[in-house]
Structure 1
Amino acid sequence: MPLKLTFLRLNRTPDLLAFLSILFYLDFAYDLVRTDYIKLIMLYVALFFLFYKLIQLKKHQLTFLAAIAFIFRLLFLFSIPNLSQDFYRFIWDGRMILEGFNPYLYTPESFILKGVFPIYQAQELYHGMGMLNGSHFTNYPPLNQLCFVIAGFFAGKSILGSVIVMRLIIIAADFGTLYFGKKLLEHLKIPISNIFWYLLNPFIIIELTGNLHFEGVMIFFLIWSLYLLQVGKWQFAAFVLALSISIKLIPLLFLPLYFYWFTKQKINTNQIKKSVLKLKIPTLTSIAKLFLFYMIIGFTTILLFLPFYSSEFISNFTKTVVLWFQEFEFNASIYYVAREIGYLFRGYNEIGIIGKMIPGVVLIFVAYTTFFKRNKTIVGLITSMLLVLSFYYFTATTVHPWYIATLLILSVFTNYKFPLIWSLAIVLSYLAYTNSDEHENLWIIAIEYFIVYGFLIWEVFLQKKFGDKQIKYFD
């Protein structure tokens, strides 16, 4: 009898955890106001704990984990995002295209200030997205715009309908990531349950499905591309990678890292003490394959941008991208330290100077990782991607919570777990404006990055010293 009771208790516990998660997600989706910071933190931490325990207890029952991941996402289906206003701009862009306008050529503000309303609910959408968003040109690439158009086409004049359509696209992308992520993990002989550190993570469910950020669609194409590369279909992998770039531009940062993948052939030289010295010398064939890989990506990306092409488009799009380096500041780490040092010496904000330096510093790090980290395997390539993107976010002037999603999926295929810790700590960024003067509380930002950098230092420098080769999350 005691054994039977123990068995029943062990089997009922995951069901209870899943049920509690459902209640908490419903509360998060339909009864949370962003400014209710205590409730936000409590719900998020509770969901993270439940997520951890569910994977710990059910890591071998992948069908159960996939089913509840799908159910948790569906709970948000009819909710309006409560932590982000960006979806109003998505709807605006989609409706603009359906009305025959090029969204890259006009700001919403340019119409509203003239009293012109080019689309249905223009005034409501403009107020929803906010003055900051409405005063800038759109920076969403063409395949992302297609998602907005699909939402506008099927939802008609309904804002909630558009939200539902976009949410279904993001949910479908997440399960595409599950499919190809699972296949890639199998090829790499990594535990398949690792994919649920991404798929079941409340950070992913809330930020992507809940708040409608299309990093999830970009990630789907990125993982699909990496799987295709692993199985030798590099031409198709290049095409799919271009689709990822056409959702979000972030994968452009990874392009140099493919150098060693295509130039990894080895040739034998002289024998020294009965051992063969192997040198890596790129062959003409490998260089040609690398060049063709980049050509496919470039051609596909240009082709997708072509319907929107004009000289104004290039100018507007470039200016908007540059703004992220030279005008916007949010949830930064190293940049904020550099900014404070600049205040001491010059007495005013240094973003104009530091912002221009950051791309150069990042490119130097990318070059170092490209030529001194030999990305000969998919795991090596993904690890380099993780390190490069982490370096970029550590030095960036703006790090919105949903940016971390790409780090989290890449970590699934590596031994690095700091993105998982960051996906918990990132909720602190929502507390940044708790003060009355609406300036970021740098103490809160410092706590967030103290947690992230502390864990990163542990992983990189201290684990081996304490005799741990790998952190065991399930034991």
Structure 2
Amino acid sequence: MFFNPAFFKLNKTPLLLALVILLFYFSFAYNLVRTDYIKLVILYSTLWFLFYKLIQLLKTNIKLLTWIAFGFRAVFILAIPNLSQDFYRFIWDGRMILEGFNPYLFTVESFISNGEFPVAQAQELYNGMGTLNASHFTNYPPINQLCFIIAAMLSSKSILGSVVVMRLLIITADFGTLFFGKKLLEKLSMPTYHIFWYILNPFIIIELTGNLHFEGVMIFFLVWSLYLLHIGKWQFAAVILALSVSVKLIPLIFLPLLFQKLGWKKSVLFYLILGFTTLLLFAPFYSSEFINNYTQTVALWFQNFEFNASMYYIAREIGYTFRGYNEIAIIGKVIPIVVILFVLIITFFRRNKTTVELITAMLLVLSFYYFTTTTVHPWYIATLLILSVFTKYKFPLVWSFVIILSYLAYINIDKADKSENLWIIALEYAIVYGVFIWEVFIKKASIKGSLNSF
């Protein structure tokens, strides 16, 4: 195909466009630091615009889009992640398990502070992940840990080698998402090229392939499970969804939404299969200390950490006004209750029986969670983006573009004041909320009004 002169002539413009994008990705992967925010925003904005044009040009050529998606990811294979330090902890956890340690029972700090180096390159990994990460217990579920183990087995003494292995696992998962995503779109009678709003999105390529966030693996199992659910293989779907939960816990929020589609008998069995599979996967790490450490670590995301939030920051400012101090400990306890109430409302007061209705409900529930939570790291939006592919909503696609603004928090990283620029956060959410309100409320109302006029 690629050596056919007629093929080059026919696809000259998109191929040249893909080559330009490739060069931009190379610059992003090997010649960028996250504190160089002007270059970061310019590169990302250009990549996003070119990606949009590329899909417009090639939306009927799925095969070529697939090859291009692989080519863009291949650029990053030998690159050390430059926007996130989390991968150092991934490598640490994998090597700890190979050394016979339970990673859920020890902090990195507990070893280093005592002058102990239980794994190869321990000091380098500790320096890379930072003291905040090193002072907490790991919160990565067992399938995620399995990925870390594979990296440790294949590269036990090289950070770059471990990075390459993990990156190949994430790339493989992305193409699994492409495979089942296309099949699900076909079953739903939707255009199959829509999957490339996820697969070719610079946000996905940079955050998952580039920065080694395992949301890509979680999403692969989630999409596979949704496909199985759609074709009626709900028992197998429960097992696969358990694998998704065992990469990242976030799919747990969707469980009540399955009630309408499955009915109460099947729902109970679905939850039992998923619960048993999940417990089985966690079993090798079980101990009384594990339960305590893991719940405490998860709670940190609600009651200690704050980053790129929206409604929470408003609530925090109200707390400052009336109480004079940050009330994250109180607000963090209220947020899960509010989210659970919203999930129950969507579960019982909204129709969620068809696959599209179910996925739309998932999108709304997860959006509400991210709108209210204390911490929204850029890579979290990946799940919203993949869900939006199977719905009529595009606000997650817009968010995948403006999320780059959250990285401008690093402007102050070397200054005494390390706080985020709230004006930049406000700009990000003004755009996201604007599109969200338009799509969910105004556009929907205008369509109803048009129909009522006939």
1:409 aligns with 2:386: yes
Distance apart, 1:462 and its partner CA: 2.7
Instruction: Name the CA shift for 1:8/1:304 in 2 (closer, same or farther; >3 Å).
Output: closer
Matches within 5 A, 1:248-259: 248-259=248-259
Partner SS state of residue 206, structure 1 = helix
Mapped contact 1:257–1:375 kept (Cα < 8 A): yes
Rounded Cα–Cα distance in structure 2 between residues aligned with 1:8 and 1:103 = 52
Greater Rg over alpha carbons, structure: 1
Matches within 5 A, 1:66-77: 66-77=66-77
Mapped contact 2:109–2:134 kept (Cα < 8 A): yes
1:162 aligns with 2:139: no
What is the identity, as a one-letter code, of the residue corresponding to 1:394?
F
Tell me which residue corresponds to 1:282.
none
Matches within 5 A, 1:159-198: 159-198=159-198
Partner SS state of residue 157, structure 1 = coil
Matches within 5 A, 1:284-323: 287-323=264-300
Tell me which residue corresponds to 2:436.
456
Mapped contact 1:433–1:441 kept (Cα < 8 A): no
Of residues 314, 323, 326, the one that matches 2:303 is 326
Q: Show CA shifts across 1:28-47 (max 9, x none).
A: 00000111100000000000
Distance apart, 1:457 and its partner CA: 1.3
Distance apart, 1:9 and its partner CA: 8.4
Distance apart, 1:156 and its partner CA: 2.1
1:359 aligns with 2:336: yes
1:447 aligns with 2:427: yes
Rounded Cα–Cα distance in structure 2 between residues aligned with 1:343 and 1:13 = 55
Rounded Cα–Cα distance in structure 2 between residues aligned with 1:173 and 1:433 = 30
Rounded Cα–Cα distance in structure 2 between residues aligned with 1:128 and 1:416 = 38
Instruction: Name the CA shift for 1:409/1:310 in 2 (closer, same or farther; >3 Å).
Output: same
Specify every segment of 5 or more residues in structure 2 that has no aligned partner in the other structure, as ranges.
1-6, 450-454
Higher normalized helix content (fraction of residues): 2
Rounded Cα–Cα distance in structure 2 between residues aligned with 1:10 and 1:439 = 51
1:51 aligns with 2:51: yes
Q: Give the TM-score normalised by structure 2.
A: 0.95
Identity %: 73
Mapped contact 2:239–2:277 kept (Cα < 8 A): yes
Partner SS state of residue 137, structure 1 = coil
Aligned length: 441
Distance apart, 1:454 and its partner CA: 0.8
Rounded Cα–Cα distance in structure 2 between residues aligned with 1:196 and 1:317 = 36
Tell me which residue corresponds to 2:452.
none
Rounded Cα–Cα distance in structure 2 between residues aligned with 1:8 and 1:34 = 36
Tell me which residue corresponds to 1:118.
118
Q: Give the TM-score normalised by structure 1.
A: 0.91
Tell me which residue corresponds to 1:269.
none
Instruction: Name the CA shift for 1:216/1:156 in 2 (closer, same or farther; >3 Å).
Output: same
Distance apart, 1:466 and its partner CA: 6.0
Q: Show CA shifts across 1:168-223 (max 9, x none).
A: 00000000000000000000001001000000000000000000000000000000
Rounded Cα–Cα distance in structure 1 between residues aligned with 2:235 and 2:34 = 45
Instruction: Name the CA shift for 1:466/1:378 in 2 (closer, same or farther; >3 Å).
Output: closer
Partner SS state of residue 463, structure 1 = helix
Matches within 5 A, 1:44-443: 44-263=44-263, 287-435=264-412, 436=415, 437-443=417-423
Distance apart, 1:373 and its partner CA: 1.3
Tell me which residue corresponds to 2:42.
42
Distance apart, 1:354 and its partner CA: 0.3
Mapped contact 2:311–2:372 kept (Cα < 8 A): yes
Partner SS state of residue 254, structure 1 = helix
RMSD, matched Cα: 1.5
